[in-house]
Amino acid sequence: MFRTICHILFRLNRPNPMLTRRIHHRGPTILSLQQPQCLSILYRTFSLWSMKKDPDLESALSRNRRWIVNNQIKNIILRHPNQEIPIAFLQKKFKTLDLKGKALNWLHKYPSCFNVTFTSEEHCCHLSKRMMSLVEEEESVRESQENAFVCRLAKLLMMSVNKRINVLKINELKRNLGFPDDYIVRIVAKYPNLFRVVNEGGRKSSMEIELVHWDPQFAVSTVETAARRSGNIRPTFSCSLPFSWVKSWERFREFDLVPYFSPYVDPRELVEGSKEMEKRNVGLVHEVLSLTLWKKSSIVKLGHFRREFALPDRLNVLLLKHPGIFYVSNKYQIYTVLLREAYVGSKLVEKDPLVVVKEKFGELMQEGLHEYNQRRRHINMEKRRKKGVPLARVDEVKCRRRRSENADSDDDEDGDNKLGGLFDPEERKRFYKVLFDDDTS
């Protein structure tokens, strides 16, 4: 249904983007799009559009699937007795990791991360010394970051309307915030003067963490802190857009005239739908993203806190209205919002110590993969040499294969971009002109 709507909205060949077409949704109800208001309603109901692509920020959103899988394997090994796991047991876990093939072959690709041994008539795997060193370093960083975790959790609760949040919802942002798996024991139980666990329903799903004490030191947002550092009396957001985006800059300046409302102020004093409420909502999302390690989060996860944070139902519309503050992308078919000001190009301006450790893990993994590839290359070259196959001919075949794969990849990308004209600059310009009276320049 979503793709059908995209196709209808973007494949408009007439100058006036008004459409009369039957759209069936949940039954025989017919919606006739003959007025701009109908198009706006349809947009608010079905749309979750991405912004104009920024290559640097798209690169920042890139995730290494191999890193994710190896990190999960690392956690499985650490939870197992003696931190050693039979390969047969790991093979059963491959389905949950969305992997195919043999687990033994996968582990051999990363000799710098995993050591495979043969004991008791079966293969077993444990972490390498360098990998264990990184695990210990990560744990050491987590212990030193305990005060930061307390601050983040307190801020999260202080921004909520009732000063309490369900544990299951906090768990959705646990990785983003850098919390350890046992944060309830390590943080909540250790600071009874700040937090307490409430379970009025008596079920595991109804368990909540409540703020016990309001600490004014925590009730200072990132925007307010930046204003104090720069000597500005009035807190303001920063706009990270090219000056060629004239209309967007005009809207940002108009938005900047509205007084700043701290996300720690009770939102029930503000009028729903007012500019002041919009300013507060933007500030709250900005503050939540500032608390995360990579200054980004899934929009769906943020939407789960809609009731606790008094956010609008169409959070994506709010984010898209402020492209100078937020960057919205649909990379990997997951809608993600990122703080523009937190990045210079594709690099984080300020890296959390946990991010630094995780990057070291990625470097170690790549080092092992490079070593494996080089070893396999030498073995294959030796086999071809013994068979008398000219190496020049082999290299030529490889080049042709790579060119063919790249061409196929480009065709696939073009096909995705053509869907509904979603990434067509002219049709995008016309669509946004209808919605916001802007040419998205």
Tens-digit pLDDT profile for the chain (441 aa)?
444 444 444 443 334 433 333 334 434 433 344 444 544 444 444 344 556 777 888 887 776 677 888 888 888 888 888 888 888 888 888 877 777 778 888 888 888 888 888 877 788 888 999 999 999 999 999 999 999 999 999 999 999 999 999 999 999 999 899 998 889 999 999 999 999 999 887 788 888 999 999 999 999 998 889 888 887 778 888 877 777 777 888 888 888 888 888 999 888 888 888 888 888 999 999 999 999 999 998 889 998 999 999 898 888 888 888 888 888 888 777 788 889 888 888 888 888 999 999 888 888 888 888 888 888 788 788 777 777 767 555 555 556 665 654 444 333 333 333 333 444 555 545 544 444 444 434
Supply 421's token pair: 């004209």
Class of residue 301 by CB neighbours under 10 A (exposed 0-12, middle 13-18, buried 19+): middle
Nearest in space to 74 (alpha carbons), one of 23, 22, 128, 123 = 128
d(CA 326, CA 124): 46
Nearest in space to 167 (alpha carbons), one of 186, 151, 147, 188 = 188
Return the pLDDT at 391: 59
| SS3 annotation, the chain | CHHHHHHHHHCCCCCCCCCCCCCECCCCCECCCCCHHHHHHHHHHHCCCCCCCCHHHHHHCCCCHHHHHHHHHHHHHHHCHHHEEEHHHHHHHCCCCCCCCCHHHHHHCCCCCEEEEEECCEEEEEECHHHHHHHHHHHHHHHHCHHHHHHHHHHHHHHCCCCEEEHHHHHHCHHHHCCCCCHHHHHHCCCCCCEEEECCCCCHHHCEEEECCCCCCCCCCHHHHHHHHHCCCCCCCCCCCCCCCHHHHHHHHHHHCCCCCCCCCCHHHCCCCCHHHHHHHHHHHHHHHHHCCCCEEEHHHHHCCHHHHCCCCCHHHHHHCCCCCEEEECHHHCCEEEEHHHEECCEECCCCHHHHHHHHHHHHHHHHHHHHHHHHHHHHHHHHHHHCCCHHHHHHHHHHHHHHHHHHHHHHHHHHHHHHHCCCHHHHHHHHHHHHCCCCC
Dmax over CA atoms of the chain, in Å, equals 82
Dihedral angle sign, alpha carbons of residues 270, 272, 278, 280? positive
Helix axes 425-436, 2-10, angle to 10 degrees: 90
d(CA 349, CA 342): 6
d(CA 91, CA 106): 10
Return the pLDDT at 404: 58
